[in-house]
Amino acid sequence: MQFTAAQIALIINARVEGNPDAVVNSFGKIEEAKNGQLAFLANPKYEDYLYTTGASVIIVNETQELKGPVNATMLRVLDPYSAFATLLAKYQEIVAQQMEGIQEPTYIAKTAVLGSKVYVGAFAYIGENVKVGNNVKIYPNVYIGNNVTIGDHSILHPGVRIYHDCVVGNHVSIHAGTVIGSDGFGFAPQADGSFKKVPQIGNVVIEDNVEIGANSAIDRATMGSTLIKSGAKLDNLIQVAHNVEVGHNTVIAAQAGVSGSTKIGNNVMIGGQAGIVGHIQIADNAKINAQSGVSKSIKVPHTAVTGSPAFEYTSALRSQAVTRNLPELEKRIIELENLVRQLLIEKAVP
């Protein structure tokens, strides 16, 4: 596929500076791009490559000042990174539209209903009473259990497993190896020390425009629904336990874990390897630093926390600074003790 600078400018609402007929057919990093490729400049530390790159078209900031001649055609926008993301999404959409049809072998139950322009890869399994929307892409080795609903334009990458009764919205992307609707971790302790499994009869509901990374697990609710609200973005290797709610446009980085029945607000940012205990609430716009252990509710919006146990970010940094100085403080205390001891001895001597 080939596009001119002028065509790309229409997609990302850019102002063309240079040859509007410059043609590109692929993407490249600004430091490595060649003729016929499109690159972007968002990070100032890569600015020097603007004057040496071989790219034919470059997306730059509207306010970018030039220190020398630029050979490429520039597309000036308010936010180069977002504009480039929009362009990549459009490109991906065009590629996905070319994938249609049902490969063999697959199993599709007679009661399943598939929308138009659906792609089903080889060795996929689609169970009874499944409803699949339009333009859905189901890659090889995907398992979709009975009574599952998949919304329009969603993508299930290879090896995704969606257990029975779960609901996936529109424009949802679930990456390879992720499991949706596995049993929540519910066991009742018995008098003899054993544990009796509590049946997990709820489901998982994933709303629109959600992306879930590879090899993550989102457990079904004991009763009701584990809920991932619209716009949420989950990284790879994340555990979301039963009856958890993840708010709108919340982002969770890799290897984080959320325990059962915790309610996470909207626009929350959770760093990698953070752990959140069960049955608490995280307020809107909270920020949880990487490797933090959150053991109690965050009730005030826009609060930032760090550490384990996690507490307010600025206070935590001050505590860390004091901790680093402990050896020096200990030395000073010993010196003061020795000085006091010496003064007492001198005072005691007649």
Give the CA distances from residue 277 to residues 110, 217, 297, 333, in Å, rounded to whole numbers and listed in that order: 43, 17, 9, 39
Q: 313: burial class by Cβ within 10 Å (0-12, 13-18, 19+)?
A: middle
242 is catalytic: yes
Phi (first) and psi of residue 136, to 5 degrees: -85, 140
Beta bridge partners of 191: none
- Asked if omega into 44 is within 30° of 0 (cis), the reply is no
Catalytic residue, from 153, 157, 175, 242: name it: 242
Residue 331: which H helix or E strand, with range?
helix 326-348
Which DSSP state fits 45? G
- The whole-angstrom separation of Cα 311 and Cα 288 is 9
Give the CA distances from residue 242 to residues 71, 142, 207, 341, in Å, rounded to whole numbers and listed in that order: 55, 22, 16, 61
Greatest extent of the chain over all pairs of C-alpha atoms, in Å: 106
DSSP states of 240-301: E-TT-EE-TT-EE-TT-EE-TT-EE-TT-EE-TT-EE-SS-EE-TT-EE-TT-EE-S-B-ST
What amino acid is encoded at 176 in this protein? A
CB 61 within 8 A of CB 40: no
Please tell me the number of Cα atoms within 13 Å of 210 on its side-chain side.
24
- The whole-angstrom separation of Cα 144 and Cα 128 is 9
CB 106 within 8 A of CB 122: yes
Give the CA distances from residue 254 to residues 170, 174, 240, 270, in Å, rounded to whole numbers and listed in that order: 24, 14, 12, 9
Show which residues are catalytic.
242
